[in-house]
Amino acid sequence: MTYRLHYAPDNASLIIRLALEELGLAYDAVLVERSKDAQRAPAYLAINPNGLIPTLETPQGAVFETGAILLWLSEQHNALAPAPQSRQRGEFLKWLFFISNTVHTEMRMMFYPDKYIGADLADCTKLRRGLQVSLKAHLSKLDALAGEGHSWFNSATVTVLDLYVVTLLRWMALYPASSTKWFSLNETPHLHALATRIELRSSVARAIKAEGLGATPFSKPRYATPPEGSAT
């Protein structure tokens, strides 16, 4: 069975697309049209009852949640992560879960505060400001980590952690459109170098073409102009 990636342009599915491309795996990209709330349609809810993107259909069944898909792919194909028996595995896992459970989650709250605290503008603004402070602290830690010379992050060998982080850096620079002045990639030089290096890979070039991301999707991102579908 060829993998089936249920995706929307420039959504969390982009991280999975990058991993699939990096692994050189065959897959079908199945558009989930967010502008029509297709992620809440019965057919999609049958494979992902949470109605979120992405979902990856595999021979072992559908897998959802970005971190879970990345971990599953790395284990199935013995690539893009330290091997389960390696001494580096625990270090890698704790930072992968930090990215998935903490950084990505806080970003989602910043992008969609109304989903968490209601639509009051003052409350949403206050939440966003607090999250920006928190995210800057996370970025400082990740920048330091990226400069420590680990084999599983910002090294010559690409891992799912690299792909996850650079995609989040992209979104911090772009969203929400009215509230991005807090973020500057120049303040985290090791992450800046990672973003620049990753976007030169052929796997990223294929993702750029598929989702209309522009020539510098991580170091100097612009809004996506996908050939199909909507990013929002």
- pLDDT tens per residue, range 20-66: 999 999 999 999 999 999 999 999 999 999 999 999 999 999 999 99
For 163, half-sphere exposure in the C-beta direction (CA atoms, 13 angstrom radius) is 28
Domain assignment of residue 174, given as a range = 89-200
Same domain, 131 and 43: no
Residue where a domain terminates, one of 21, 45, 77: 77
Q: Is there a domain that residue 213 lies in? A: no
Same domain, 116 and 186: yes
Q: What is the gyration radius of the CA atoms in the chain, in angstroms? A: 17
- Pairing relationship of beta strands 3-7 and 27-31 according to DSSP bridges: parallel
Residue where a domain terminates, one of 77, 97, 121: 77
Residue 150 has pLDDT above 90, yes or no: yes
Domain containing residue 68: CATH number: 3.40.30.10
Is the whole model's pTM more than 0.85, yes or no? yes
Supply the angle between the helices 66-77 and 160-174 in degrees, to the nearest 10: 150
pLDDT score for 165: 99
| pLDDT one-digit tens code per residue, 16-31 | 999 999 999 999 999 9
Residue where a domain terminates, one of 77, 106, 138: 77
Would you place residue 232 in the very low, low, confident or very high pLDDT band (cuts 50, 70, 90)?
Answer: confident
Same domain, 179 and 112: yes
Q: Is there a domain that residue 34 lies in? A: yes
Which amino acid, 49? P
Q: Is there a domain that residue 116 lies in? A: yes
Supply the angle between the helices 13-23 and 160-174 in degrees, to the nearest 10: 140
Residue 231 has pLDDT above 90, yes or no: no
Total tally of structural domains belonging to the chain: 2
- Pairing relationship of beta strands 3-7 and 61-64 according to DSSP bridges: unpaired
15-19, 48-52, 193-197, 228-232 — which is least confidently predicted? Answer: 228-232
Same domain, 37 and 130: no
Buried b / exposed e over 184-214, threshold 16 CB at 10 Å, is ebeebebbbebbebbbebebbeebbebbbbe
Same domain, 71 and 103: no
